Every structure is written in structure tokens, then in C-alpha cells.
Structure 1
């Protein structure tokens, strides 16, 4: 299963989330983000538009993931180097691997990373 992890700023427009997802490669079966962000209107709208389930990842699950990207600001706030990468890995399940580092929207308001889990 391929999962796109999405990180975004509070005032990011839906278009920024969509742009980051497309830049990461799209073609996923689910979206994931930090639990604290999962009720934000822009991620809910994106999930509904794409008819994809949205996985809310707990702080402990985010912190348990090994990410490629290491942002000090994100580490201080979320306990991980990249919300997008960690959310994708956690939601894709044990043994999941990132297809690459997170990518950003052109305006820097959103990031996306895709992880692929082991099919069961």
C-alpha cells in the first residue's frame, strides 16, 4: 500500500497540499498526517476530493519513525524530522519504506512524502 504523508502550515491552502502531493508522485491509496492536523479543513478537503482515507498519526508513532529529512523546527514541535515522511511511514505499516525525501509546494506551505508498505 502506498501512503502519502502530508505536512502543512496552519494557513496553507488546499492547492499547496495538492501541489506537494503531485510533486511527490501521487498515485496513493491513503493520506496521512499528524493527529493534531487531521481535522484541519485543508487536509479534510483534499482527502474528500481524492476520495482517499485520511490516517491521523499519533505523536508517539511520528516520533518512532526514521526520516530522511531533519528539520530542527519540526523536531521541536512534533518529535520527528519530517511530519510528511514520518506520517507516511507510520500509516504504511511495519517495514514500510520511503520512496524518497519529502518535497515541498512552491510556496513552502506544504510537504509530501510517499511510503510503500509491505502488502499483506
Structure 2
């Protein structure tokens, strides 16, 4: 198991290691799923829409995604100066998500990226405050850490 700031995983994820990223105001963690080559403008547009529709400030939210998407130029540009943490397919697949996708499972090997990454990175007792929301080649979900109103 991997932890940051001594935090523990949010729930039993079997043998899959877990990480907890801390430090974001309001305890928000942004999970992002994206197709390869997704442009920064598409990621920004979705994040702006999610923030506006849900009254959230995502400017300092921690970011998590699938490990093989964490270095995508469009994603990096959209969330800079933050650097997304990348979870493996096995880590993400160990998280039960409320909105699984057969298409995503066929493409990357796990039924959900955005929701699973947000929940896994947010840590123990995390809850989704924004379910998976789709944009042009990108999805986003927001989780809030336990104990943060």
C-alpha cells in the first residue's frame, strides 16, 4: 500500500495498492478519464462546466487518472501546474463505481476511470460529490475526502 501524509486507503480494495493524496482545499479530488490525444481545451471545457454546474472551485483540487493517461499533453496542460497521479488498471478495477462503462472496460481494462480515480485518491470514507460527467473525449468526477463538509 502506498500512502501520502500517513493516510489509509478508503476501503478494502483487495490486494491492489492505494494512494491518498492530501492538501486540496475543501478536500476535493478530481478524477479524469480521457481518450488518448484529448486536447487541453476539451478537458478545460469539461472542468469549467463541472465547476459551474456544481458550484465548486476545482482550481486546487488534486487530480488522479489512469496511469497511462497521466502524461497526456492535453491533460497536463489543462490541469497545470498540478500533476495528475496515475493509478494502474488493477487499482481502478478494484473500486466499485456507480456508473460503470462496458466501452471503457473494453478499451482500457476497467469499467471506470474518473469515478474510481477520484474515490481512490480521496481516501478513507470518500464520497462522490459529482458523478461521472462526460465531455468531448473526456470524463470527470469529483470526490470529497471524509470529514470535510
Which category describes the TM-score, using the shorter chain as reference length? Answer: 0.7 to 0.9
1:32 positional shift: 0.9
Runs of at least 5 residues in structure 1 that lack an aligned partner in the other structure: none
Mapped to 1, the partners of 2:110 and 2:32 lie a distance apart of 13
Residue 36 of structure 1 aligns with which residue? 68
Name the SS for the 1:102 alignment partner. strand
Matched-pair contact (CA < 8 Å) for 1:6–1:110: yes
RMSD: 1.9
Matched residue count: 116
1:60 positional shift: 2.2
* 1:109 and 2:137 correspond: yes
Name the SS for the 2:41 alignment partner. helix
1:119 positional shift: 4.8
Runs of at least 5 residues in structure 2 that lack an aligned partner in the other structure: 1-26
* 1:93 and 2:135 correspond: no
Query: Rg bigger for which structure?
Result: 2
TM-score, structure 2 normalization: 0.69
Task: From the two aligned structures, give the one with the greater helix fraction.
Answer: 1
TM-score, structure 1 normalization: 0.84
Matched-pair contact (CA < 8 Å) for 2:129–2:142: yes
- Residue from 13, 29, 39 that aligns with 1:13: 39
